[in-house]
């Protein structure tokens, strides 16, 4: 691959996704096509020259012109409060990418393209999974897909409306929410952290040769990976990304 | 929040590793000298500090990759790893 260079992206739109999460839509000239699941490194430079960087998953599918990053504001973080509070349309940010070849889903990869997908996300761990869901929708893929998405409350569900729209018009995409802290009245979904019983109810059977992508905080990723292994998912069929809070 | 909540994994090291290696590295397979586990870099545990990063085996905690970048000099210690297998076709 080419050596990755730092590039300047310009903010063309900022979208408030939830009270603590914003999407930054960036114009990055000469952007190399990315794969769903990849991330970028974002670098901030202070006036005194001090630099710091963080990794952010790409939320947009490869087909789109603009690059979307979705950033959760981490209280006391070094980078995310700048990105969510200070950045304005027209501002530039330094980034390099796309990065990653492990936590990626390619529709043309014969190791994965006929496997049912089981996507499990916690909080802003939805971001790389959303790139996969959007890519799947854009490429008219019908590979059976389930998303199990854990959020703390209904208001904290990132991409809530879009997930609802996509699953309503696509019978091969099922979206299952669990709300761990607070549930609205008449909530019929799950209302607890992801556990073994939940996974056993939802997961594709190992005989269907499913491919699982798990992204979220460490505790969620480890619970899910361990339980899926015990349910019979083989080596290499569970891809994991531990994602925030990263001191962001 | 404890240290475990702050833990990242080898996926987040992809950018830094690309400063040194010419291939995509998060999918590269590492063989741990402690327990023999063969895992992609993306599944290693990442510990970051001001000067660089350490990637440890998730099973036995051996440090497989230590990398620092100080005053224009990269320093790699790969002594915890028996083998590093890189798929040159992954972009």
> Is B48 a domain residue?
yes
Query: In this complex, do A99 and B14 lie within 8 Å of one another by their Cβ atoms?
Result: yes
> Is B25 a domain residue?
yes
- Nearest by CB to B9, which of A1, A219, A240? A240
Using a CB–CB cutoff of 8 Å, tell me whether A196 touches chain B: no
Residues of A in contact with B27 (CB under 8 A): 101-102
Q: Which of these, A213, A223, A164, lies nearest to A37 by C-alpha position?
A: A213
Q: Which of these, A117, A26, A7, A121, lies nearest to A69 by C-alpha position?
A: A26
Query: In this complex, do B91 and A1 lie within 8 Å of one another by their Cβ atoms?
Result: yes
C-alpha to C-alpha distance for A198 and A220, rounded to whole angstroms: 13
- Nearest by CB to A102, which of B15, B26, B91? B26
**pLDDT tens digits for range A165-213:** 999 999 999 999 999 999 999 999 999 999 999 999 999 999 999 999 9
Domain count, chain B: 1
pLDDT of residue A154: 98
pTM of the model: 0.94
> Is A104 a domain residue?
no
Residues A176 and A222 in one domain: yes
Residues A65 and A137 in one domain: no
- Candidates B3, B4, B11, B47: best to mutate against A (most CBs of A within 10 A) is B11
Supply the CATH number for residue A128's domain. 3.40.50.80
Supply the CATH number for residue A12's domain. 2.40.30.10
Torsion, Cα of A153, A155, A157, A162 (10° steps): 150
> Is A235 a domain residue?
yes
Query: In this complex, do A247 and B6 lie within 8 Å of one another by their Cβ atoms?
Result: yes
Ranges of residues in chain A with a pLDDT under 70 are 1-2, 109-113, 244-248
């Amino acid at each position: 691959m080419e050596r990755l260079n730092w590039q300047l992206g310009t903010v063309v739109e900022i979208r408030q996704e939830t009270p603590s999460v914003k999407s930054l839509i960036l114009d990055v000239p000469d952007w190399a096509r990315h794969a769903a699941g990849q991330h970028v490194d974002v670098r901030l430079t202070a006036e005194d020259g001090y630099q710091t960087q963080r990794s952010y998953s790409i939320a947009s599918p490869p087909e789109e012109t603009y690059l979307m990053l979705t950033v959760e504001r981490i209280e006391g973080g070094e980078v995310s409060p700048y990105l969510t509070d200070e950045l304005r349309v027209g501002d530039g940010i330094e980034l390099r990418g796309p990065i990653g070849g492990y936590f990626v889903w390619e529709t043309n990869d014969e190791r994965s393209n006929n496997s049912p997908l089981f996507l499990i996300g916690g909080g802003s761990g939805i971001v790389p999974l959303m790139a996969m869901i959007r890519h799947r929708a854009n490429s008219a893929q019908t590979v059976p897909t389930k998303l199990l998405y854990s959020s703390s409350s209904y208001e904290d569900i990132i991409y809530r409306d879009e997930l609802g729209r996509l699953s309503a018009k696509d019978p091969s995409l099922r979206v299952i929410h669990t709300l761990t802290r607070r549930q609205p009245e008449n909530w019929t979904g799950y209302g607890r952290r992801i556990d073994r019983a939940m996974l056993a109810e939802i997961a594709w059977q190992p005989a269907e040769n499913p491919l699982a992508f798990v992204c979220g905080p460490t505790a969620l990723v480890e619970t899910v990976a361990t339980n899926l292994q015990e349910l019979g998912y083989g080596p290499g069929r569970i891809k994991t990304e531990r994602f925030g809070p990263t001191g962001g | 929040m404890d240290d475990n909540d702050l833990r990242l994994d080898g996926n987040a090291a992809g950018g830094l590793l690309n400063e040194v290696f010419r291939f995509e590295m998060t999918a590269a397979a590492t063989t741990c000298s402690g327990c023999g586990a063969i895992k992609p870099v993306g599944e290693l545990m990442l510990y970051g500090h001001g000067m660089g990063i350490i990637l440890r085996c998730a099973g036995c905690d051996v440090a497989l990759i230590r990398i620092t970048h100080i005053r224009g000099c990269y320093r790699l210690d790969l002594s915890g790893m028996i083998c590093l297998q890189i798929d040159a076709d992954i972009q």
